[in-house]
Every structure is written in C-alpha cells, then in structure tokens.
Amino acid sequence: MNTLGQDAKNHATAVGLNVDRITINGGKPLVGRIELKGAKNLVTKAMVAAILGDTPSVLKDVPNISDVRIVRGLLEVHGVTVTDGPVEGELILDPSAVETAHMADIDAHAGSSRIPILFCGPLLHRLGEAFIPDLGGCRIGDRPIDYHLEVLRNFGAIVEKLPSGIRMSAPDGLHGAKVALPYPSVGATEQVLLTAVLADGITELSGAAIEPEIMDLINILQKMGAIITVDTDRVIRIEGVDKLDGYTHRALFDRNEAASWAAAALATEGDIFVGGARQAEMLTFLNVFRKVGGDFDIAEDGIRFFHPGGDLKPVIIETDVHPGFMTDWQQPLVVALSKAKGVSIVHETVYEQRFGFVDALVEMGASIEVHKECLGSAACRFGQRNFKHSAVISGPSRLTGADIEVPDLRGGFSHLIAALTADGRSTVSNVGIIARGYENFITKLELLGADFELDA
Ligand code: EPU
C-alpha cells in the first residue's frame, strides 16, 4: 500500500470506518436533509485553546472526524484529560495535569496533521518547552511553517531544528510583540492569538486573517478571559492577561462542508437542506452559487440548496482569504462548472498546487485545462513561478464512470461528486481521506439517496 493509501486507512480507522473504496452508480440526484456540526478548522484550534485555561473547557458540536481524533490524541499525550460529555458531540477538556510528552508519542499521534504547530504557544506558556514533529496535512503545495516560527521567535521563543523535528523553549517567558504577517495566513494568525493572550504585555498583529473560524476562536478566548480587539484593516490587538479560565462554547458550523454539499446538490441536479448552515458566513459562496444558476432558500435552521432547472452558467472566480471566495470551496464547485454551458475560470491564489484533483475529472470526460499564468484580475504570489494554479473549465461535459483515487480532502469530495454525476459506475479509492473533514459522509450519502456499495 502506498503512503496515501495508508494515510487514508488511518483516517478511516480513526472514526471507526472500515472502508477503502466506494463504488458509485452515478446519475441520481442527491435529495434530502443533512445536519452539520462544528467547523473542522475551528474545532481543532478550540481544543488546543483549552490548554491555556486553569479550569476545564466544554466544547459543543464537535464532529466525529479524524482530524478531531488526532488532536484529541495529541492533547491526551500531553496530559489533558478529554472526555465525551453527556450530549453527542460534546467534549470536556481538562488541562490541569498538562505535561511534556515524549517525542515519539507526539510523532505517533500527529499522523499527517499540521495542528501540532499550534500547540507551541500554549505549551510554552504552560511548560516552558514544546516539540513538533515533521508536519503533514493535505498535499496541496509546500505548506511551509516559516510564518509560525517567526511569530514564535517574535514572542521570545528559542527555536531549534533537530533531525526529528523542532524544539522550542522560552526560558524567559513569552512577551507581547509587534507582528506583521507577509500574507494573511489563517494558521499564523491563530498562532499569534494562542500565544499573545497569556504573553506579558501588548501584541499588535497586522496583516491578520479574519476568517469566521478565527473570529469564533477569538470569541472562545474572550470567554476564557482574554482581551482582544479586532481593528479595521486586518489589525488585531491583544492585551496579555495573567490567567485564563476554561470556556463553554458551541462551535461555529462547518461552512466548507456546507459549500461541498451545496455543490453536490447543483452538480447532481438535486435538492439538499443543509441543517446548521448560516447565511452570514457564506455570503460570498451564495453569490457565486446563484451566478452559476443554483438556487437557495435561507431558513432559520439551515439553508436549502437546489438546482432549479435550466442550464448552469459559467463564472470567473478567484479564490482568496476571507471575505473572498474560499480556496476550500473551489474543488466541489469545479464539478458543477464542468456542467455549465460556456467557459469558466478559477484562479487559485491561496495554495499553489490545488488543482491535482482535476486529472481524474478530465479522465471522466470533463474539459479542464490548468495554466501557470494568473488568469484573474490580480497577479498572485504564484504567477511567473511555474505553478499550475489557474483552471479553465469548458462545458457542458457529460462525465462517465472511472476508477479514481482521492488525492486530498477537498479534491476527494469533488471526486465523490463527479462519480455521483457520471454515467455508469465509478470506483473511488482512498476515501478514508475524506473522513479527515466530513463527518459521517457515507451515512449522509445514504440519507440523500446515493446509489453505492462499500469495499473494505
Ligand atoms: N503559508 C506560508 N508560511 C506559513 C504558513 C502559511 O507560506 O508559515 C502560506 C501557505 O503555504 C498558503 C497560505 O500561506 O499558501 C495560506 O495558508 P494558511 O496558513 O492560511 O492555511 P492553514 O492555516 O495551513 C487553513 C485551513 C485550510 C484552509 C486554509 C485557508 C486548517 C486546519 N486548515 O490552513 O483548510 O484551506 O486555512 O483558508 O484550518 C481544508 O480544510 O481542506 C484546508 C486545507
């Protein structure tokens, strides 16, 4: 089994799934209702934030996805007691016995996750040292951690690169700093927040990411006792405090999952009510969904996404940091764009290599060309650097079933959608990767009437 295959198996096993491949008979619209839980990209960070509290924290709406399992394991090897609350999806995190973990244990639990880098600030505060192994995550570009290391150095951490990973220490404690990010990185902004709240003095972060998941992390930190001001123009100011308490918080819904099911409704000519989705955090997605020819109804308890009939229309999109069109939304939508009548362009400006998934769509009959040029109104960081980061999608195309392999989380979900829309049978392997970020996706497919069989 190759590394990706092993990785897929590990993710599936972590959530109790014994599945490697799904064989899908395409052509059936997805119709029905599903429920969302908290956002993967908030919940995992909220779990890390619990280390900062002097008392236990309670997090609600935690999805059963393997990234959550990984963070739970990492917290446990650091002495945090994590228990399931009385209500499904509730976690109680008690950090009172936080301790240094063995490097081998951290390595074994981190798997391919990039979350360990966010443990550094909280562990430096609690223990004076932190270790991180080599980091993974989805294969969607280089995904360096240079901003994170620079941020931690700004706070006074000593960073040593060892053959097995990176060791950090803060013999003189951490102190507030003026930090300017070269790009509004989500992870580096979270790094600053999780470190600055207990640092001595004031921190001023400019060039911050302001995604809704970051705002919800700020809500959590404020509940814990932190003082954080979000100013205009991506400036966040944090006044360090001496101590923080635990929090009780219901996590923000997963808008990436919502967008994925919305795209699935559109591509399969279906009708899906996504319970828990909210308009405010999805404004940009909803505009594009409407422009492509999709329709939606906003209800108090969710959003209904549907194909109203007629031709889908091509669009020009550039992915961007919030409030732009999220990079995690483009992959599922590209499948729907392959069905639109005309030429669509997607300029990916957040990650340099996020079009690997289109090879399988082309094999299935989509007409998609990926270019190195910036095909958008703004030149991005990847222009003139040989990264194929602009996709031209010509439609409408009929897709036919094929044997395809999930390359990464969002690309994997787009492969599922492609197979659901295709004529005939498709076999999608390495589906375990999808369990990293989509809770109960197999049960949800069943609920929505998909025609498929599982293969262990
Ligand atoms: N970057 C650097 N150096 C750094 C950090 C980032 O050059 O030290 C670059 C990245 O290579 C990338 C850009 O900055 O080109 C943006 O990366 P960012 O730090 O914002 O991403 P992240 O924090 O690693 C989170 C999500 C991603 C999501 C991005 C953008 C989590 C666990 N991951 O990643 O989610 O795409 O923000 O919104 O929160 C996913 O859910 O499938 C996923 C990949």
> CA-to-CA distance for 295 and 69, rounded, in angstroms?
35
Q: Are residues 27 and 112 in the same domain?
A: no
**Alpha carbons 123 and 78: distance in angstroms, whole number:** 9
Active site residues: 138
Q: What is the CATH classification number for the domain harbouring 321?
A: 3.65.10.10
Distance (Å, whole) CA 272 – CA 390: 29
- At residue 4 the predicted structure's pLDDT band, cuts being 50, 70 and 90, is confident
- Mean per-residue pLDDT for 112-127? 91
Same domain, 343 and 413: yes
Tokens 């090879």 belong to residue: 359
Nearest to 412 by CA among 343, 358, 367: 358
Last-in-domain residue among 192, 223, 250:
250
The C-alpha atoms of residue 167 and residue 157 are separated, in whole angstroms, by 10
**Per-residue pLDDT at 7 exceeds 90:** no
Ligand 1 site, residue 149, Cβ cutoff 6 A: no
Contact of 431 with 406, CB cutoff 8 Å: yes
| Ligand 1 contacts CB of residue 330 (under 6 A) | no
> Model pTM?
0.97
Dihedral sign for Cα atoms in the order 181, 186, 191, 197: positive
Residues 327 and 408 grouped into a single domain: yes
Query: Which residues form the domain of 288?
Result: 3-36+253-455
Amino acid letter for position 98 = V
The pLDDT-based confidence of 281 (bands split at 50, 70, 90) is: very high
Q: Compute the mean pLDDT over every residue in the chain, rounded to the nearest whole number.
A: 95
Ligand 1 atom closest to the CA of 190, numbered from 1: 23
- The CB of 351 under 6 Å from ligand 1? The reply is yes
Identify the CA nearest to 380 among candidates 369, 371, 367: 371
207 and 299 inside one domain: no
My answer on whether 30 and 112 are in the same domain is: no
Question: Which residues on neighbouring strands pair with residue 289, listed in sequence order?
Answer: none
Give nearest CA residue, ligand 1 atom 23.
187
Pick from 182, 217, 250: which residue ends a domain?
A: 250
User: What residue type is 377 in one-letter code?
Assistant: S
Q: How remote is the C-alpha of 62 from its chain's centroid?
A: 14
Q: Which atom in ligand 1 lies closest to the alpha carbon of residue 211?
A: 38
State whether 386 and 305 are in the same domain.
yes
Are residues 105 and 159 part of one domain? Answer: yes
In terms of DSSP bridges, do strands 178-180 and 202-206 run parallel, antiparallel, or are they unpaired? parallel
Pocket residue to mutate for ligand 1, from 43, 135, 186, most atoms within 8 A of Cβ:
186
Please, what's the largest Cα pairwise distance for the chain?
Answer: 65
Confidence of residue 160 (pLDDT cuts 50, 70, 90): very high
Ligand 1 touching residue 437 (CB < 6 A)? yes
The verdict on 213 and 321 lying in the same domain is: no
Average pLDDT over residues 287-305: 98
In whole angstroms, give the CA distance from residue 4 to residue 160.
Answer: 30
In a shared domain, residues 129 and 12: no
Summarised one tens digit per residue, pLDDT across range 29-65 is 999 999 999 999 999 999 999 999 999 999 999 999 9
Q: Is residue 2 classed exposed, middle or buried when 0-12, 13-18 and 19+ CB atoms within 10 A define those classes? A: exposed
Q: Name the residue with higher pLDDT: 116 or 56.
A: 56
Task: Tell whether the torsion through CA atoms of 218, 219, 222 and 223 is positive or negative.
Answer: negative
440 close to 36: Cβ distance less than 8 angstroms: no
Asked whether residue 243 falls in the same domain as residue 265, the answer is no
How many Å separate Cα 360 from the centre of its chain?
Answer: 22
Query: What H or E segment, with its residue span, contains residue 25?
Result: strand 21-25
Contact 144 CB / ligand 1 (< 6 Å): yes
Q: How far is the CA of 186 from the centre of ligand 1 (A)?
A: 6
Taking the C-alpha atoms of residue 275 and residue 333, their distance in angstroms, rounded to an integer, is 20
Cβ of 308 less than 6 Å from ligand 1: no
State whether 265 and 382 are in the same domain. Answer: yes
Which of 250, 282, 301 finishes a domain? Answer: 250
The pLDDT of residue 176: 98
User: Measured in whole angstroms, how far is the alpha carbon of residue 213 from the centre of its chain?
Assistant: 10
Tokens representing 165? Answer: 């990973």
Question: Side chain identity at 303, as an amino acid letter?
Answer: I
Query: How remote is the CA of residue 271 from the centroid of ligand 1, in Å?
Result: 31
The count of domains in the chain is 2
Asked if 390 and 364 count as a contact pair (C-beta separation under 8 A), the reply is: no
Burial pattern 102-124, b for ≥16 Cβ within 10 A else e, equals: eeeebbebbbbbbbbbbbbbbbb
Residues 180 and 273 in one domain: no
User: Residue 303 pairs with which residues in a beta bridge?
Assistant: 274, 298
Amino acid, res. 368: I
What is the reported pLDDT for 72? Answer: 97
Tell me which of 11, 40, 41 to substitute to probe ligand 1's pocket, judged by most ligand atoms within 8 Å of the beta carbon: 41
**Which atom of ligand 1 is found nearest the CA of 184?**
20
